[in-house]
A and B are shown apart, each in its own frame.
Chain A
């Protein structure tokens, strides 16, 4: 049991051991999140995927045929995509100026504004929706005002419409859009903009060729996140929408409760998920972004 060791070798051993320890620590720190995602996202998703190919105990694509061809599924998928897209675009458009302000300022006023945005997260979505039920009611304040200036007649109602659903969903999503955008806009390099101005570029040109390229990925990513979140909305269309605003969440709930079989609901979820992935991929391609580039952006 004699071993010869050189001092140099021992040091290298020590460095390698330290690196291994660092790797182990890193793995241990990542493990809870990774396990959580595997247990509560990947496994259930895989189970739903399997379930969607099941009907009356045998393997089939019948559920998918139903979703694509049988009334009312195509209509409901279309409702979902259009409502979610409108919500995403409106939310980002409304949140962008606010986010730009918050990203560029750090004083007392900015802190107050940021606190106000954060405070809206504390208000339950149900409270927001019921508030809209009161505000948009036929005899509610908004309709009274519109009638007074003769925009609407006493017969019209703003509730149970596409507009009511959109207003509420945008209200819920704007703070999220704002927070996501601020994170991206904070990394804008203002020296480049000052340089462009110094060299005589007009504001539209500065925006198009200096500012926009720096925030493009974060705007696209925010739009996608809001779009995906909005497509899963259930309570807003159920409480404020009419029959033209039935979204997939509502139909999945009805199918789960009434069909004694989770196959159709699983298929609806699968189709929605695949559709969202495809749309996200197209949006990223068209805009010249990619998941990898965004990951690098975030990592840098």
Chain B
């Protein structure tokens, strides 16, 4: 590197600058940034940890360290959005890159100007492999997850196909369990015949009216998604909702559970970089690295979730693929949560939801 530039006296200053900035970078490793230029020697990633944290460490971070020569420090913190905004405002960042913990965090972060903007043309070399809408100038999908209907193959062998069936208490009598979350309004509208891509702006009055209809059969509103799938598995309820990952765990442990992908509520999950990070190029490189199809395929096997790369499911065991929320087949029948709408209306919708649940 120095030899090439040293011949030209005009480049000496630039070389010095580069050397001083990236002095700690290991020699001889290729750059993992899409523009091919060197990256910083360290980057800090924040995740919620657990088995998911172990999986991304194994699939993304450890190989990134080996291939790109940059150390990935993996921290686990239960931060809130407000805390994250304070990090950026105070210029004191405990980490550089991480994933959202709730739908509205990504649009809020863009609006509040706390997210690092990626360079022009950052995604150009990867665009063709990525699902539409799974990337933008502030980040890319981490692992979108679905909230969906489940039934017991033992008590309802014929199964149900939709939220309309879930609402049909004449054909399928019996108690139901749903999440104690305002996102259930989406299910109510789907049951009322609204198309999955026509939910927004969400008509709350119509949704609550539809919920009133089912109220006598709604026996419980769960705090933990496991309650939904366990309750259906052991016959406490005829149908319920849960997160796809919990249903997969139940199915893999031999429970008589089947998922209904039609009308699945697909939640946003994005990987993003905080504005003002001291390691912008290493963070960008890691973000890019995480979109690789093969690595996302490995993640699918370990966790049952993938990101935005279309090719991740190619060559995977069909048994794994049929349980993934972000495959083309499942995306086409899902209702994607409009994070911007929820960012604006979550407070109001949840206040109404809490009142509706407690008052009936």
Chain A positions within 8 Å of B, measured between CB atoms, are 70-72, 75-76, 79, 133, 137-140, 157, 159-160, 238-239, 242-243, 246, 250-251, 254-255, 258-260
- Give the tally of cross-chain contacts (CB within 8 A): 65
Return the CB mask of B226-244 against A: 1 if under 8 Å, else 0.
0100100011100000000
Q: Are A139 and B235 in contact (CB under 8 A)?
A: yes
Given contacts A72-B354, A260-B347, are A242 and B220 in contact (CB under 8 A)? yes
Q: Are B358 and A76 in contact (CB under 8 A)?
A: yes
Q: Are B236 and A239 in contact (CB under 8 A)?
A: no
User: What's the minimum C-beta distance from A69 to chain B, rounded to whole angstroms?
Assistant: 12
Q: Are A243 and B221 in contact (CB under 8 A)?
A: yes
| Bound Cα distance from A255 to B355, whole angstroms | 12
| Bound Cα distance from A70 to B351, whole angstroms | 11
Contacts of B236 in A (CB 8 A): 137-139, 157, 159
Q: Are A72 and B347 in contact (CB under 8 A)?
A: no
Q: In chain A, what residue has the closest Cβ to B230?
A: A133
Contacts of B223 in A (CB 8 A): 238-239, 250
Q: Which of A139, A160, A254, A260 contacts B220 (CB 8 A)?
A: A160
Q: Are B347 and A259 in contact (CB under 8 A)?
A: yes
Q: Are A71 and B355 in contact (CB under 8 A)?
A: yes
| Bound Cα distance from A49 to B182, whole angstroms | 29
| Bound Cα distance from A140 to B236, whole angstroms | 9
- 8 A-B pairs with C-beta separation under 8 A: A72-B354, A72-B357, A79-B358, A157-B236, A246-B358, A251-B354, A254-B354, A259-B351
Q: Are B235 and A71 in contact (CB under 8 A)?
A: no
Contacts of B82 in A (CB 8 A): 260
Q: Are A258 and B234 in contact (CB under 8 A)?
A: no
| Bound Cα distance from A242 to B218, whole angstroms | 9
| Bound Cα distance from A258 to B355, whole angstroms | 14
Given contacts A238-B223, A258-B346, list 11 more A-B pairs with CB under 8 A: A71-B358, A71-B359, A72-B355, A137-B236, A159-B220, A159-B236, A239-B227, A242-B221, A246-B358, A251-B354, A254-B350
Contacts of B209 in A (CB 8 A): none
| Bound Cα distance from A138 to B234, whole angstroms | 8
User: What's the minimum C-beta distance from B344 to chain A, rounded to whole angstroms?
Assistant: 11
Q: In chain A, what residue has the closest Cβ to B81?
A: A260
B17 contacts the other chain (Cβ, under 8 Å)?
Answer: no
| Bound Cα distance from A77 to B245, whole angstroms | 35
Q: Are B358 and A258 in contact (CB under 8 A)?
A: no
| Bound Cα distance from A62 to B224, whole angstroms | 32
Given contacts A139-B236, A259-B347, are A239 and B224 in contact (CB under 8 A)? yes
Contacts of A239 in B (CB 8 A): 223-224, 227
Return the CB mask of B333-360 against A: 1 if under 8 Å, else 0.
0000000000000110011001101111
